[in-house]
Amino acid sequence: MTPLLFIPKKIVLASASPRRKELLARMGLSFTVFPSNAEENTEDMSTLPAARQVCLLAGKKAEDAASRLQHDCLVIGADTIVVKDGRKLGKPQNQEQAAAMLRFLGGGRHEVLTGVALIDRKMNYRDTDCERTLVEMMRLTDNEIKRYTDSGEYLDKAGGYAIQGLAAAFIPWIEGCYFNVVGLPVNLLYTMLKKYLLCAEGMEQGY
């Protein structure tokens, strides 16, 4: 596949998420996966706006990976959270937590926010941005929640559901970027990469 952009250095995805890996591959980019070891501890960020929080966490993940890599590269980090009525939802730790999240999200609309970070240590380049998508989930019965969580699909998913999987049946409406809900806002990343290339071009020409 011919990429829409040519990035003249190694690209590293600081995430073990198979969804992010798949979406980045769809852009036609060649990259390697080097998962971040940064802890997703949000306790000290609980008072921050959700958009600021995901940008900080995405940056933290990218920075951790970049600090452990010796070669010249561009590192991409990302973090996703779900927000409803001011309550921020990360990844459920077990089936009971996932069921509680689905019960809370059902019958209304919530926001999905993904922060994206680009770090190039050699260029001393750092950029972060956030995508926001509004999602409506139908009200779920206890039986539907039980059947869904029994599938195990909630694992490693912010908000406890995967829009690209079985949970697609629960979503009657979204406004915004679908890929953002999957885990990586492709158009936002593409825009950020174009900005990065312009900066790299300017540095080469001595601007």
Q: Is 44 a catalytic residue?
A: no
Question: Over the stretch 89-127, which tens digit does the pLDDT of each residue have?
Answer: 999 999 999 999 999 999 999 999 999 999 999 999 999
* CATH code where residue 54 lies: 3.90.950.10
5 within domain boundaries: no
Catalytic pick among 64, 79, 120, 129: 79
Please name the residues in contact with 184: beta carbons below 8 A apart, sequence gap of 6 or more.
17, 19, 20, 23, 24, 78, 114, 116
Query: Domain for residue 33, yes or no?
Result: yes
pLDDT tens across 123-163, in order?
999 999 999 999 999 999 999 999 999 999 999 999 999 99
Residue 141 lies in a domain: yes
Domain residues for 63? 10-204
Q: Give the predicted TM-score (pTM) of the model.
A: 0.93
Instruction: Encode pLDDT of 46-69 as tens digits.
Output: 788 999 999 999 999 999 999 999
The answer to whether position 138 is within a domain reads yes
Name which of 116, 77, 97 is nearest 161 in CA terms. Answer: 97
The DSSP result for the chain, as a single string, is ---SS--SSEEEE----HHHHHHHHHTT---EE---------GGGTTS-HHHHHHHHHHHHHHHHHHT--S-EEEEEEEEEEEETTEEE---SSHHHHHHHHHHHTTEEEEEEEEEEEEETTTTEEEEEEEEEEEEE----HHHHHHHHHTTTTTT-GGG--TTTGGGGG--EEES-HHHHHT--HHHHHHHHHHHHHHHHHHHTT-
Q: How many CB atoms lie within 10 A of CB 187?
A: 11
Whether residue 124 lies inside any domain: the answer is: yes
Spatial contact of 120 and 192, defined as CB atoms under 8 Å apart: no
Q: Is residue 40 part of a domain?
A: yes
| Residue 4: inside a domain | no
Q: Is position 1 within any domain?
A: no
Percent of the chain at pLDDT > 90 equals 85
Q: How many domains does the chain have?
A: 1
